[in-house]
Amino acid sequence: MGARDLYLVTGGAGFIGSHIVEALVRRGERVRVLDNLITGRHENLAHLIHEIEFIEGDISDYETTRKAIDGVKIVFHEAAIPSVPRSVDEPKLNHEANINGTFTVLLAARDAAVRRLVYAASSSAYGERGTGAKLEDQLPSPLSPYAVAKLVGEYYCQVFTRVYGLETVALRYFNVFGPRQDPSSPYSGVISKFITALLSGQSPVIFGDGEQSRDFTYVANVVDANLRAAVEPGAIGQVINLGLNQRITLNQVLAELQKIIGTDLTPRYESPRVGDIRHSLADITRAERLLGYRPSVGLTEGLRYTVEWYRENRG
């Protein structure tokens, strides 16, 4: 890969996308962003806006996407409506953004002779099979429209590799957290909601008994894996878990955050969410083997950085 290849980050104004954009800019690459600003925000790229090309547009529109992808070597496809409960409330929106959108990006990438597309897949594809670490070879069992959509995207990636020779890699993100994750919607990621509640002295809400567990992964680890997935030859056509391989319950993560922030607030327990998974833990041996991935930021360290960021940027 030449030093000045052109990269496209779909959803580059979003939480994970903007971190990928930042890493690419830091490395001196040319970066273009395509984002419809539905869940993405201008502020996420404000510090980089003079160093990138920004296109406001929707990935479901072929013409827009084809234009945005022109001359691009590598695509990081992060654009999505990334919420399990939102997909339950708005299944059509989920289908259009996450299935039609991904299909359109793949089609445009094929037509523009892109070399490789790295796709943001989701661990929600696994569903409830077993309580141990999830292995990529396990049969998927999606429990929400969101999980179905993200899984369809994976299948399309694999088929575009086989049928059209477009190199694709699907990274199954487990629960990603970090600076710039938007806490303001009812569909926001739980860590962003916990932190902002605690910082403003409000009781965080826990859906269910709080004994459900997740594999929370700091965003820098995910960025690192994406950059590797863009070049590693062994990753082509593969589905690869991306997590920390560490199980923690919601009650535990809340306790950890209260310790970092210095609060002792009692959470409000509400009914469990429809489509919610009980336990989610990543086996990351495939990522280690195919990508040379080693998560460099641990959970507590990541939580500290994140709290610090919300302290400085709240409001």
What does the binding site for ligand UD1 look like in residue numbers (CB under 6 A)? 82-84, 122-124, 173-175, 188-190, 193, 205-207, 212, 214, 250, 273, 276, 280
Please state the closest distance from residue 22 (CB atom) to ligand UD1, in A. Answer: 19
Please state the closest distance from residue 146 (CB atom) to ligand UD1, in A. Answer: 7
- CB nearer to ligand UD1: pick between 170 and 206: 206
- CB nearer to ligand UD1: pick between 173 and 293: 173
- CB nearer to ligand UD1: pick between 68 and 142: 142
Could you tell me which residues come within 8 angstroms of residue 147 by beta carbon, excluding any fewer than 6 positions away? Answer: 84, 122, 124, 125, 127, 140, 275
177, 311 contact by CB (below 8 A) = no
| DSSP code, position 135 | -
Which residue shows structure tokens 């943001």? 120
Please state the closest distance from residue 58 (CB atom) to ligand UD1, in A. Answer: 19
Residue 146 bears catalytic tag: yes
Please state the closest distance from residue 232 (CB atom) to ligand UD1, in A. Answer: 22
- CB nearer to ligand UD1: pick between 63 and 211: 211
- CB nearer to ligand UD1: pick between 24 and 267: 267
Name the active-site residue from 7, 119, 146, 173. 146
Please state the closest distance from residue 197 (CB atom) to ligand UD1, in A. Answer: 8
Closest Cα partner for 275 from 142, 92, 107?
A: 142
Bridge-partner residues for 6, per DSSP? 30
H, E, C per residue of 253-306: HHHHHHHHHCCCCCCEEECCCCCCCCECCECCHHHHHHHCCCCCCCHHHHHHHH
The residue whose Cβ lies closest to ligand UD1 is: 122
Q: How many residues are present in the chain?
A: 315
Please state the closest distance from residue 205 (CB atom) to ligand UD1, in A. Answer: 5
Rounded (5°) CA angle 176-232-108: 75
Bridge-partner residues for 173, per DSSP? 122, 242
Q: Are strands 248-249 and 175-177 parallel, antiparallel or unpaired?
A: unpaired
Which amino acid makes up residue 292? G
- CB nearer to ligand UD1: pick between 186 and 298: 186
Which amino acid makes up residue 273? R
Please state the closest distance from residue 305 (CB atom) to ligand UD1, in A. Answer: 17
- CB nearer to ligand UD1: pick between 205 and 231: 205
Closest Cα partner for 78 from 24, 135, 2?
A: 24
Cα–Cα distances in Å, from 217 out to 124, 242, 257? 15, 8, 15
Closest Cα partner for 223 from 44, 1, 80, 24?
A: 24
Q: Annotated catalytic sites, by residue?
A: 146
